[in-house]
Every structure is written in C-alpha cells, then in structure tokens.
A and B are shown apart, each in its own frame.
Chain A
Amino acid sequence: MKIWSSEHVFGHPWDTVIKAAMRKYPNPMNPCVVGVDVLERSVDSRGRLHSHRLLSTEWGLPGFVKAITLTNLVSVNERLVYTPHPEDPELTVLTQEAIITVKGISLGSYLESLMANTISSNARKMPHPKNQRRKKERTKEKKEGRRKGRKKEEISEP
C-alpha cells in the first residue's frame, strides 16, 4: 500500500481545464487507459459535482516479472481536486492523492512505486480540448506479460 499525493498547476482557467479533464480519455499521451466508466455522479447541497469513475488500464511489465505468479489486479484509488489558483484566476491547481495496492506478489512495494511515478507524470498529460481526437490508437503488443489495472477517480469541484 502506498499513499502518494501531488500538486500541479495548469496554465489555463478552471473552466477550460475541467472540460478537458472530463474528456481526458482517450488520450494519445496515455494509451494505457483502455476504458472509462462513471459509477456514480451527483450534485451536492453546495452545488458541487461529484463523479466517481472507474478507469480500466493495461500496461506492460518488465520482463523479469513475467516469471512470477501474479494476481491480475492492481488497485489504484485516486482523488483529484481541480480549483482555480488562489492568486491567479487564469491558472488552475490540481491536487491529486492516491492509494495504490498490489495484491499477492512479493514485488508489491516496487510496483507500487513504479505506479506512483507513472501517475505523477500522467497528471500533466492533458490533451488540448481542441486537438482531442476520438480516433483510437493501437498500442504495440509487448512480448512481456500484460496486467489489467483498475483505477477509481473522483472529481470534486468547488
């Protein structure tokens, strides 16, 4: 189990960023995300929209891991909060927190660190809404084993 958090500032106002975030996938900069589903969605008494989403991911593993018997589930629970920058309304702050769990293998802590680094760099990969294409990209089939990962994501707005 690894707890990880990070902050990132986008150079665009909140409205622009949140529209892009809602349509973040498919994302040519992160082809590992192969499915997105909304599990729950509602507006609370303060007018905030809560979305609980399930992201299906597939990613290749280093060759040496292939030999080890694995369960096929990596569990990532994330919370993302997008807010206008307190000092500049033309900017948006993303605060991201994640709990990562890899079940049933001795390399759990190594893979959890690997995932935390990947999540951190993926937070920045936001395609521009105007350039976003619906065309599906084929990812290269790797010879090493593939794992299916599940990610839960919750977006709250102020």
Chain B
Amino acid sequence: MNSVGEACTDMKREYDQCFNRWFAEKFLKGNGSGDPCTDLFKRYQQCVQKAIKEKEIPIEGLEFMGHGKEKPESSS
C-alpha cells in the first residue's frame, strides 16, 4: 500500500510493520505501554505532513459530530 506522498512509501511500510507487530503482540494482549515505533513514526510523519501541504489536502482538526478527542496520554 502506498503513501499519499510517493517519497514516503518506504518509510510508511517500515512504520506499518513495526506498528502491526506491536499492536498484535503487545497492545491487544493488554500491554499498551512502551511504543517501540516512535522514531519510525516521527520520520514518516515529517514526510507525510510535507506531502499533504504540497498537495494542499485539507486535514484541519475535525470535531466529529460532537465527539471531541480526549487528551491522549503519552505512549512512549
């Protein structure tokens, strides 16, 4: 599966692999603390945010139908 930014696809796949492993082996078994993918995610995000700005895709924050987002606790 590709990224919206062509240059980000490899970084996305690397992050996805890390996340899917953590998700199935840790999070779903009750151990949601300690995310080993933070660095990969940061690198991937920098690329994606740049691509989104360049393509002028509107992703401004959305309060979805009255369901506001709760403050997330840090996952690292």
Contact = CB atoms under 8 A, between A and B. Distances in A.
Given A22-B20, A49-B27, A97-B65, A38 B15 contact: yes
A27 to B, nearest CB: 9
What size tier do the contact residues of chain B reach?
Answer: 35 or more
A23 B57 contact: no
What size tier do the contact residues of chain A reach?
Answer: 20 to 34
A39 B48 contact: yes
Interface in A82-104: 97, 99
Nearest to B3: A37
Nearest to B69: A50
Interface string A26-43: 100000001111110111
Overall SS of chain A's interface: strand
B48 A97 contact: no
A38 B52 CA distance: 12
Interface string B15-57: 1000110011001100011010000010011001000100001
B57 A19 contact: no
9 contacts: A36-B3, A38-B15, A39-B48, A41-B19, A42-B74, A43-B73, A50-B72, A152-B62, A154-B64
Interface of B: 1-5, 8, 12, 15, 19-20, 23-24, 27-28, 32-33, 35, 41, 44-45, 48, 52, 57-59, 62, 64-65, 67, 69-75
